[in-house]
Structure 1
């Protein structure tokens, strides 16, 4: 659940006539966060279309294989810049389905890909301090379950933002230690609503034919190198 601090309790930042309010905070547990929640909201909404786009099973099987992925990465690191670009091009569609949260304390890397009516959700942690009970794992959920969970989070954050904007709009601005452009605040919120609506219907329309060609060339190069050792 996303909560907002009381308006009078929100700290200000900036100097002199440019003092304004800090961003959204998640008050469930200390330390509170502001930028991080807004960033997570943006990342999840951008990731949604890729996570829900079906991926060819043969490509997903190879890209999701940690052993082969790591071997291909090692190959890339041994190549010249031009040859190494093949790795980035070949995995472009896969990396588009990854989301890191390094801006959070002990952040994880998430990878999501859809096979038919299931979404695979994988997470990994590379930090030195062990804080997660399951630092690396993968689950599969139905497309409907995944969509509802993601949309529930996005809608909750947006609703909390809207409630705050409406509150400020009703009472106008009474604090004297900083200023807020109410008109701009309303316009920015309207843009957030429109943007989320667009992401909910967006499809990446990945060119799987081209992706497969690049991936096959990469696979041949990596396997060729392995044959030499």
Structure 2
């Protein structure tokens, strides 16, 4: 249980960090301005819960495989396919452009095929290795722990997929964002794209809805609420960032 809790904590921080990397990368904000806190972790929480559910369900099925299922093809054919179908349905009903949905669906399908192939090869290899020895010879792979290697492979694969998947999702969410807080002062109009500590991270926006390169910090306590308004943008162009002041 302690290992499970430690892994969940690690996954939460990892996914939160990678989500922020993807989000800030879209706006060309350096990784130095990434904050990891409860808000950061909760941003991709729905995706984390979905994939962790798939992870725990998959591990449980691997354990049940050792206990009940003798035919490996039955396991591959009838079990974790349900998890990936659930993920596909979840993606289909997400609010995102069609091209992003198609890319996400393709990634899920590729992950499914790769993970099943790896686990199949690993388990077949263990079976063949064990059959080379008479029953009285210890092969070093106890029967009750034969699923351990495939479980480790599955967990590592899910961890890597989560890390890069959250970065992609963060970038995707940033690109799909339409409503921004706009701040106006004597020097012009600024669009707030993110926060850092007690500051808003804003960039000047042109009349052509271009986010210009020089980001700056705006301290909330020194500004009146009336200076801000929520604005809807159909399309924004992010110019390569140069510096933050």
TM-score, normalised on structure 1?
Answer: 0.31
Pick the structure with greater CA Rg.
2
1 or 2, which has the higher helix percentage? Answer: 2
TM-score, normalised on structure 2?
Answer: 0.30
